[in-house]
C-alpha cells in the first residue's frame, strides 16, 4: 500500500426529509446565496424544501448554472456575491452546480484573474464556505475537493482541486432522484462506476481494504444500477445507488493506491468539442482504454474478472477480454451508447481530440504515464 493522509471533512445528512438539516448546518447569521441550475428544482419540490429550511437566514439566489458549468456563467455569480456580500454558498443541484459553486467560492475571493486557477493552476488561498443539497448522484462532487469548469469561448474543459472548496456538508435524500430523467440516472451510474475503476483498475499494491471496498461498490452498481432505471425503483435501490456514487469519489477508495484518470481526461476533451454528456464520453473510452492498457493492468484486470464478474481465469487472456466486454455490456444494459458512431460522430474525432490533449499537455496519462498521444489516438480510433 502507498503512503497516504486521508480526511473527508464533509458532513453527510443522508435520508428522507434531511433537507431540513441545512438550517442547523449553515452558520448562524450567514448571508446565503442559493445557487442552482436550469430550474428542475422548481418543478420537483426541492426548491420549496430549501426555502422552508432557510427561514431563519437572509438569502438570495442565482439560477442558470448549465450542465458542464461555464466560467462565463460562474463569473456572473461571483459579481453578485461581491456586490451583495454573500458569505455562504448553498449549491442545490448535480455535479455541474456543485462544481460551479466551488469555482465561484474560490473566484469570489481570488486576487487576480480567476481563469488562471484552471488554466495555470494558480494557487487558491481562500474560498467562501459551501453547503450542498445533492439532486443527482453521479460525480461525488458533493464530498470532494474537485471541480471541472468549461470556457465556452476557448473550448477548454479544465479541472482544479482545493481542499478550501470541499463542501462543509451535503444533504443526500434519495427521494430527489424520482424526478431524474432516465438519461441522467444512467449517466450517474456510469460516472460512479468509472470513478471506481480509475482508482481500482491500475496495478496491485496489496491494498486489500481499498480493493474490496471498490469491488463492493462495483458489485452494488451492477446489481442496483439497472433497477434504478425502472419506474417502480424502490427507495432502497435509490439509496444504494446514491451512497455508492458518493463513496466512489470521496477519497476513501483512492487513498494509498495508484490512480488512473486517463479516461476522464480524454472524456473532458470530447465534451468540450462535441457536447456529449460527461458519462457518455466515459462509456465510449473506458472499454478501449482497458483493452489498450491490458498489459500494464493485467493483474488487476484478472482480479476484476474473477471477483466482480466471477469469471474463470485459467485462460487469462480470455478472462480479460470477457471482463472488458462485460463492462461494455453493463453500460449498454443501462441504455448507454458506447461508440462515437452511436452519436453520429466518426473518425474526424481522432485528430481533433488529440490536438486538444496535446494543447493541454495530456500526453502521458494514466497510473504509469503510459498513455501517450499515440495510444490515445489508437483508443479513440478503436472507439468509433
Ligand atoms: O440544471 P438543472 O435544472 O438542475 O437540471 C439538471 C441538468 O439538466 C438535471 N437534474 C439534476 N438533478 C435533477 C435533474 N433533473 C430532474 N430532477 C433532478 N433531481 O440533470 C442535468 C445534468 O446535471 P449535471 O449536474 O450536469 O450532471 P452531473 O451530476 O452528471 O454533473 C456533470 C458535471 O460534473 C463534472 C462533469 O465533468 C460535468 O461537468 N464532474 C465532476 C466531478 C467532480 N467534481 O468530482 C467528477 C466527475 O467525473 C465529473 O467530471
250 lines ligand 1 (CB under 6 A): no
45 lines ligand 1 (CB under 6 A): no
| Exposed/middle/buried for residue 322 (C-beta within 10 Å: 0-12, 13-18, 19+) | middle
Minimal-distance CA residue to ligand 1 atom 36 = 278
108 lines ligand 1 (CB under 6 A): no
The three-point CA angle 232-235-241 to 5° equals 100
Q: 371 — phi, psi (to 5°)?
A: -90, 90
Enumerate domains of the chain plus CATH numbers: 11-175 (3.40.50.1970), 181-382 (1.20.1090.10)
Query: Distance between CA atoms of 252 and 213, rounded to whole angstroms?
Result: 9
Compute the average pLDDT of residues 55-79. 98
Compute the average pLDDT of residues 342-362. 97
Contact 188, 136 (CB under 8 A): yes
Record the cell numbers describing residue 25, joined without a space.
448546518
242 lines ligand 1 (CB under 6 A): no
Query: How does pLDDT run across 135-169, given as a tens digit for each residue?
Result: 999 999 999 999 999 999 999 999 999 999 999 99
Query: Distance between CA atoms of 131 and 79, rounded to whole angstroms?
Result: 20
Compute the average pLDDT of residues 174-192. 98
The three-point CA angle 20-149-267 to 5° equals 110
Q: Which atom of ligand 1 is nearest to the CA of 146?
A: 44
Contact 288, 324 (CB under 8 A): no
**pLDDT value of residue 88:** 98
37 lines ligand 1 (CB under 6 A): yes
244 lines ligand 1 (CB under 6 A): no
Q: What is the pTM of this model?
A: 0.98
**pLDDT value of residue 132:** 98
Q: Which atom of ligand 1 is nearest to the CA of 188?
A: 30
**pLDDT value of residue 20:** 96
- Ligand 1 centroid to Cα of residue 67, in Å, is 6
Minimal-distance CA residue to ligand 1 atom 16 = 180
- SS3 percent helix, strand, coil of the chain, rounded to 5, is 50, 10, 35
**pLDDT value of residue 357:** 97
Average pLDDT, the chain: 98
Query: Per-residue confidence at 352, pLDDT binned at 50, 70, 90?
Result: very high
Query: How does pLDDT run across 86-100, given as a tens digit for each residue?
Result: 999 999 999 999 999
Interface TM-score (ipTM) > 0.90: yes
Query: Per-residue confidence at 347, pLDDT binned at 50, 70, 90?
Result: very high
Query: How does pLDDT run across 199-251, given as a tens digit for each residue?
Result: 999 999 999 999 999 999 999 999 999 999 999 999 999 999 999 999 999 99
**pLDDT value of residue 238:** 98
147 lines ligand 1 (CB under 6 A): yes
- Ligand 1 centroid to Cα of residue 177, in Å, is 12
DSSP line for 359-376: HTT-SEESTTS-EEHHHH
DSSP summary character for residue 148 = E
Secondary structure element (H or E) that encloses residue 380, with its range = helix 373-382
Secondary structure element (H or E) that encloses residue 40, with its range = helix 40-43
Amino acid at each position: 500500500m502507498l503512503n497516504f493522509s486521508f480526511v473527508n471533512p464533509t458532513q453527510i445528512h443522508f435520508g428522507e426529509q434531511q433537507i431540513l438539516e441545512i438550517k442547523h448546518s449553515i452558520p448562524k447569521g450567514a448571508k446565503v446565496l442559493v445557487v442552482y441550475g436550469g430550474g428542475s428544482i422548481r418543478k420537483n419540490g426541492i426548491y420549496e424544501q430549501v426555502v422552508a429550511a432557510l427561514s431563519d437566514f437572509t438569502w438570495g439566489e442565482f439560477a442558470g448554472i448549465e450542465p458542464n458549468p461555464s466560467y462565463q456563467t460562474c463569473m456572473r455569480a461571483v459579481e453578485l456575491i461581491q456586490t451583495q456580500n454573500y458569505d455562504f454558498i448553498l449549491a442545490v443541484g448535480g455535479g455541474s452546480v456543485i462544481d460551479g459553486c466551488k469555482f465561484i467560492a474560490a473566484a469570489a475571493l481570488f486576487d487576480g484573474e480567476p481563469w488562471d486557477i484552471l488554466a495555470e493552476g494558480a494557487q487558491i488561498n481562500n474560498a467562501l464556505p459551501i453547503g450542498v443539497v445533492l439532486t443527482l448522484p453521479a460525480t461525488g462532487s458533493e464530498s470532494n475537493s474537485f471541480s471541472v469548469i468549461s470556457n465556452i469561448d476557448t473550448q477548454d474543459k479544465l479541472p482544479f482541486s482545493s481542499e478550501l472548496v470541499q463542501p462543509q456538508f451535503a444533504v443526500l435524500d434519495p427521494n430527489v432522484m424520482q424526478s431524474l430523467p432516465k438519461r441522467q440516472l444512467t449517466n450517474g451510474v456510469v460516472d460512479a462506476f468509472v470513478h471506481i475503476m480509475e482508482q481500482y483498475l491500475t496495478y496491485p499494491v496489496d491494498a486489500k481494504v481499498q480493493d474490496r471496498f471498490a469491488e463492493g461498490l462495483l458489485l452494488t452498481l451492477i446489481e442496483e444500477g439497472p433497477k434504478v432505471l425502472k419506474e417502480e425503483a424502490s427507495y432502497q435501490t435509490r439509496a444504494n445507488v446514491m451512497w455508492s456514487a458518493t463513496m466512489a469519489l470521496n477519497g476513501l477508495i483512492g487513498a494509498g493506491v495508484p490512480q488512473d484518470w486517463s479516461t476522464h481526461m480524454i472524456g473532458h476533451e470530447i465534451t468540450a468539442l462535441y457536447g456529449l454528456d460527461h458519462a457518455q464520453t466515459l462509456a465510449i473510452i473506458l472499454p478501449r482504454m482497458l483493452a489498450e492498457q491490458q498489459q500494464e493492468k493485467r493483474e488487476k484486470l484478472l482480479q476484476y474478472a474473477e471477483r466482480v464478474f466471477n469469471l474463470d481465469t485459467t485462460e487469462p487472456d480470455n478472462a480479460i477480454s470477457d471482463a472488458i466486454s462485460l463492462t461494455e455490456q453493463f453500460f449498454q444494459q443501462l441504455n448507454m451508447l458506447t461508440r462515437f458512431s452511436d452519436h453520429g460522430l466518426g473518425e474526424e474525432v481522432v485528430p481533433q481530440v488529440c490536438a486538444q490533449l496535446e494543447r493541454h499537455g495530456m500526453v502521458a496519462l494514466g497510473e504509469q504515464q503510459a498513455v501517450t498521444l499515440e495510444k490515445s489516438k489508437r483508443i479513440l480510433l478503436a472507439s468509433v
